[in-house]
Structure 1
Amino acid sequence: MADHQKIHPVQDVEAPGTPSAPLVPRDMTISEKGEPGKDQYPPFKRTIPVTHSKPPKKRSCCCKCICWIVSLLLLLIIAIGITVGILFLVFRPKLPKFSVDRLEITQFNLTDDQNLSASFDLTITARNPNKRIGIYYEGGSNIGVWYTDTKLCQGALPKFYQGHRNTTVLNLPLTGQTMNATGLLTTLQQQQQETGNIPLNLKVKQPVRIKLGKLKLMKVKFTVRCKLVVDNLAADQNIRIRSSSCKFKFRL
């Protein structure tokens, strides 16, 4: 053979016992101590998955409506409070005053069927102390005279307008009849003989309209409670009022 070829044996990498070549990156250098250079490794970065929070849920229409209603109510309450405060400062309202001036009895006796018939003539003075407030006394009032828990007679106040700082004297006829009143009349006579005083209660319920300047407000009701002490309840005699005190209250 003219040309001689050199045949180099090829190492079988899969044969058992054959040392395998170390897997060293080409760019990796070996330090003097035989350890891989740490500064030669590419930096290791771990990718952390980003979790996105759920978007906030939209408020339902019902919640929005409730919030709007509550806000409007609060604004309305504040507006009413401011208006009432301004009216109070401008008009300086004062409660009316009542007093019982005179009591006459034209009838107070038992009938044949043991019922007590009573007829009173009552004189009341109503005062309006306000400078800028008028009072319309409407129909539908009721006034009654009571002894303990028994109503002796009743009547009503007339309709009228009471102007600023006005004083009105009212003469009111009251009538009534109490069934089976023998025991009641006996008790009244005994109390008059023993103490010389008979306590009575006067109760008034009256619907009115308040006038602020030219503005006429809605109808409201007031009540008057008067405690009277008289010396007797005899008919056709002079009745002396020993004490009288009245309390006035408004109510819707």
Structure 2
Amino acid sequence: MADRVYPSFKPATNGAIVYVLYRPHHPTFSVTNLKVLHLNVTSSSTINSKFDLNITAKNPNKKLDYIYDTITVSLLSNDIDIGDSTIPAFVQGKKDTTLLKVDITNTSNTLDSGSVSTLKMDLKRKSDIPLTIKIDTKVKAKMGGLKTPKVGIRVTCNGITATAPTGKTVATASTSASKCKVDIRIKIWKWTF
């Protein structure tokens, strides 16, 4: 008589044990401050921009650390990329709040004609320009001597508006209505947080 083969529930059991013991929550992000130092479109349809961005990252967990890879930050207006930067890899301890300071610049992106017209129109109006911040990275959690595999996360921050600065005056964006949504980029982790 052939031996019966039973399905293994070890991964699910291990996941349940980790959840019960550590009660993990995903990190949270918020836009603390955004200053517009320079923003215009040149005659050759190239964006020339410079921003100072402060983002606060919080680890709400009491029993685990987060280990972040290098973080890519993109600043968009109406889906037009107007600046990019990176944040070096770092480790965030338990219940820690980390202030991330980023200089965002763009001096080389050439826009298509549709994007040029949209951005130039927004700048000419001298009214608030809608801005979106996108953050992409990979992160793993450390619980004692145990480390999880890396998973991708994307953070999208909306509800930010700013006006283009005039002359040497720095414009401060309005971030009071901003909200940042964290998306785990692998489905198996969605139930964990």
Shared topology, TM-score over 0.5? yes
Asked if the contact 1:96–1:128 (Cα under 8 Å) also holds between the matched residues in 2, the reply is yes
Q: Which amino acid aligns with 2:131?
A: L
- Asked whether 1:237 is paired with 2:167, we answer no
In structure 2, do the counterparts of structure 1 residues 191 and 82 end up closer, same or farther at CA, with 3 Å as the change threshold? farther
Higher-strand-fraction structure: 2
1:165 equivalent in alignment to 2:95: yes
Aligned equivalents of 2:170, 2:89: Cα separation in 1: 30
Please tell me whether residue 207 in structure 1 is matched to residue 138 in structure 2: yes
The answer as to whether partners of 2:139 and 2:151 remain within 8 angstroms in 1 is yes
- Output the amino acid matched with 2:22: F
Amino acid in structure 1 at the alignment position of 2:120: T
Question: In terms of Rg, which structure is larger?
Answer: 1
Q: Distance in 2 between matches of 1:198 and 1:117?
A: 16
- The 5 A counterparts of 1:104-119 are 104-119=35-50
Change (3 A) 1:251 1:231: closer
Structure 1: how far apart are the matches of 2:161 and 2:60? 28
Consecutive unaligned residues in structure 2, runs of 5 or more: 187-193
> Distance between the aligned counterparts of 2:133 and 2:45, measured in 1?
25
- Per the alignment, residue 81 of structure 1 pairs with 12
- In structure 2, how many angstroms separate the alpha carbons of the residues matched to 1:112 and 1:199? 23
Q: Distance in 2 between matches of 1:148 and 1:238?
A: 19
Q: How does 1:127-206 map to 2 (within 5 A)?
A: 127-139=58-70, 141-176=71-106, 177-180=108-111, 182-190=116-124, 192-193=126-127, 197-206=128-137
- CA RMSD for the aligned pairs? 2.2
Q: Deviations along 1:68-100, whole A, 9 cap, x unmatched?
A: 4xx3xx22xx22212111111110101111000
Could you tell me the percent identity over the aligned residues? 27
In 2 relative to 1, CA 229–191 (structure 1 residues): closer, same or farther, beyond 3 Å? farther
Secondary structure at the aligned position of 1:123 is classed as: strand
Taking structure 1 as the reference length, what is the TM-score of the superposition? 0.64
Find the partner of 1:102 among 14, 27, 33.
33
- Contact 1:107–1:119 (Cα < 8 Å) also in 2: yes
Q: Where is the helix percentage greater, Structure 1 or Structure 2?
A: 1
Equivalence map 1:19-30=2 (5 Å): none
Aligned residues: 179
Identify which of 224, 228, 238 aligns with 2:155: 224
Q: Distance in 1 between the 2:119 and 2:78 partners?
A: 13
Bigger relative contact order (CA 8 A; separation at least 6): 2
Secondary structure of 2:157's partner?
strand
The CA distance in 1 between the partners of 2:34 and 2:21, in whole Å, is: 39
For 1:191 and 1:96, the matched residues in 2 are separated by 37
Specify the code of the residue in structure 2 equivalent to 1:245.
K
1-structure distance, mates of 2:173, 2:37: 15
For the structure 1 residues 202 and 128, does the alpha-carbon distance in structure 2 shift closer, same or farther, using more than 3 Å as the test? Answer: same
Q: What's the CA shift for 1:112?
A: 4.6
Give the C-alpha shift of residue 190 in structure 1. Answer: 5.0
Q: SS of the residue aligned with 1:156?
A: strand
Q: What is the letter of the counterpart of residue 85 of structure 1?
A: A
Runs of 4+ in 1 over 3 A off after TM superposition: 190-193
**Which deviates more, 166-175 or 242-251?**
242-251
Matches within 5 A, 1:2-17: none
